[in-house]
Amino acid sequence: MIHTEKQIFKKLQKKKFIAAHVAEVGVYHPETSNIYDYIKRGIKSTLVEPDPHSIKLIGEHFPNQHNITLYPVALYDFNGKVTLSQRAASTFVSTLTTSPALVNDDYQVNKDDLFEVEAMTFDKIDGGDIDLLSIDIEGSEWFVIKHMKSRPTVISLETHGGIYLNPHLDQILDWMKKNGYVIWYKDNSDTVFIDPNEIRLDWTDQVRLLWTNFRLSLRRTRKRLKRSLKRKIIKSA
């Protein structure tokens, strides 16, 4: 038996949050799903994953989960075909100039890692009733938000990690502000936004966020300095 108890699930339980429809864009493997606990509890779940191998694993792991609707597509800024590049757990649109793999790992796009999939905008599958949305698609998160019909109470996005910062962070933050969302908490890669009219924040949430911001900033500075030093050493060798 797999015990996940994802952080977002545990924290939302403490806030007494009840979801009727959850969604995740960029699932990867079933055990890594950010909404795994909701899926196993029978909550209506929309999953989006373009990688054929991951799609197969999801189907095998949840064979009798009739609460799941799986879309084997990539969500992007247009409807048609898009080429993705896959590096381990990081699958991203190959034309992006900024993604975690490119920035943190100095990954160079390799033709052997490319595959083409169907792409569509989120409004094609978003019925407008999603309560919790998790997005982790390696730099393309903004294109999901941009075409979203729903106004979930909770939105989790990959915004940072190592020295990587989401290339559309300014647009994401602007959209969140205009639509009344505030930052609840961050972890090492994601920022979780909430509707403060639905989930009440207290002073402990604010203190934890301040501490996390400081820790992430310090970590990013250290990694940048370490990379800069490494490159100088290589250049001088």
User: Is residue 24 domain-resident?
Assistant: yes
Supply the pLDDT for residue 3: 53
Distance CA 200, CA 155 (A): 15
Question: According to DSSP H, which parts of 6-99 are helical?
Answer: 7-14, 36-40, 52-61
User: Is residue 2 domain-resident?
Assistant: no
Q: What is the pLDDT along the chain (237 residues), one digit of tens a residue?
A: 455 679 999 999 999 999 999 999 999 999 999 999 999 999 999 999 999 999 999 999 999 899 999 999 999 999 999 999 988 788 999 999 899 989 888 888 889 899 999 999 999 999 999 999 999 999 999 999 999 999 999 999 999 999 999 999 999 999 999 999 999 999 999 999 999 999 999 999 999 999 999 999 999 999 889 888 877 787 776
Count: domains in the chain? 1
User: Is residue 129 domain-resident?
Assistant: yes
Query: Helix or strand or coil: residue 104?
Result: helix
Query: Is 93 in contact with 74 (CB distance < 8 Å)?
Result: yes
CATH code of the domain in which 220 resides: 3.40.50.150
User: Is residue 1 domain-resident?
Assistant: no
Query: Is 144 in contact with 121 (CB distance < 8 Å)?
Result: no
Supply the pLDDT for residue 216: 95
Supply the pLDDT for residue 235: 73
Host domain of residue 38: 7-236
Question: According to DSSP H, which parts of 105-202 are helical?
Answer: 141-146, 169-178
Supply the pLDDT for residue 106: 86
| Tokens 């989006």 -> residue | 48
Query: Could you give the count of Cα atoms lying within 13 Å of 101 in the half-sphere of its Cβ?
Result: 20
Q: Which two tokens stand for residue 141?
A: 């998160």
Query: Helix or strand or coil: residue 29?
Result: coil
Supply the pLDDT for residue 15: 97
User: Is residue 59 domain-resident?
Assistant: yes
